[in-house]
Chain A
């Protein structure tokens, strides 16, 4: 029984791989196949938005894959293929946007958050340290002196 379950599980695990490879197209060289693979992984499906065209079943994703295939067969590089799609669909389709003034916040945002968080933590740490050793006010110091004095005189008795 458990062997059967393992078998079914195994088939289920392998199915996605098999499904992915049925889409494979013949290439002139392994480099072309790699370019095709890289380009479709970095291009975002304009219809389904949160998925690359390599992973999407949408009609437009299939059309875009076919176009990428044509372009790669024509000898275009990954960069040229991505540029080709950006010219038609806008920067939106590029999962790896270049660093330009308009995308500066996108790239610098996480770093800014990290720096801001670090500053807040550092400031709180300093405040806490100050609070844990606040020192005595002049009034308290006088009281302490008086206490010590009475204590000393008490011991002498």
Chain B
């Protein structure tokens, strides 16, 4: 009896090692423990009214999301190094016919315009969210973040961090295809 009790710490230790190894392995696969659940999945993007990045006189509302086709909403800023890193991939995504709406988040309008004119513009529509109003309403807490929105303006998926080929393949591609098929019916 007494002998068996002595093994309890060893068993507890082994269980802890197994638990840590399991989570570390998942982190290696790209599971970021800092990522928050998204409270807005399945809910519509709240109404907004923002100026266009290139034309301060033009106001854009949530109506631009109701196209009947899925689209991506990408939150970015020139102050954000990861946004620079994902920029090329966003351009190639746009090149394959995927509609991306860019939300320039808490940025300098001139810098943002310069960035898009020199690096190329992957966005079909450019919004300028200087105060982070829209961003706060959709639960953005950093940049970049990418939302998958269906043709009715409902948020279907959200990715925090850089968009890469791997992220697209693993997290977005199947959902995008399902929405495109659904929209065609």
Which A residues are within 8 Å of any B CB, using their own CB?
46-47, 49, 59-60, 63-64, 67, 86-92
Contacts and interface: CB of A to CB of B under 8 A. Distances in A.
Contact of B37 (A59, A87, A90): A90
Contact of A88 (B34, B136, B142): B136
Given A46-B141, A47-B141, A49-B34, A88 B132 contact: no
B132 A89 contact: no
CB-CB nearest 9 A-B residue pairs: A46-B141, A90-B39, A88-B139, A90-B37, A60-B141, A63-B132, A89-B139, A47-B141, A92-B36
A78 to B, nearest CB: 18
16 contacts: A59-B106, A59-B132, A60-B140, A63-B136, A67-B136, A86-B39, A87-B39, A88-B137, A88-B138, A88-B139, A89-B141, A90-B36, A90-B38, A90-B39, A91-B37, A92-B36
B117 interface: no
Interface in B62-86: none
SS class, residues of chain B in contact with chain A: loop
Given A63-B136, A64-B136, A88 B39 contact: yes
Interface string B10-41: 00000000000000000000000010111110
SS class, residues of chain A in contact with chain B: helix
Interface of B: 34, 36-40, 106, 131-132, 135-142
A47 B161 CA distance: 12
Given A49-B34, A63-B132, A63-B136, A89 B39 contact: yes
Among B132, B141, B142, residue most surrounded by chain A Cβ atoms (within 10 Å):
B141
A47 B132 CA distance: 15
Among A47, A86, A89, A90, residue most surrounded by chain B Cβ atoms (within 10 Å):
A89
A130 to B, nearest CB: 13
A107 B142 CA distance: 30
A59 B106 CA distance: 9
A120 B141 CA distance: 45
Contacts of B38: 90
A87 B141 CA distance: 14
Contacts of A86: 39
Given A63-B132, A64-B136, A89 B106 contact: no
A56 to B, nearest CB: 11
A59 B39 CA distance: 20
A89 B37 CA distance: 8
Contacts of B37: 90-92
Nearest to A67: B136
Contacts of A88: 39-40, 136-139
B40 A47 contact: no
Contacts of A92: 36-37
A46 B36 contact: yes
Contacts of A59: 106, 132
Contacts of B106: 59, 63
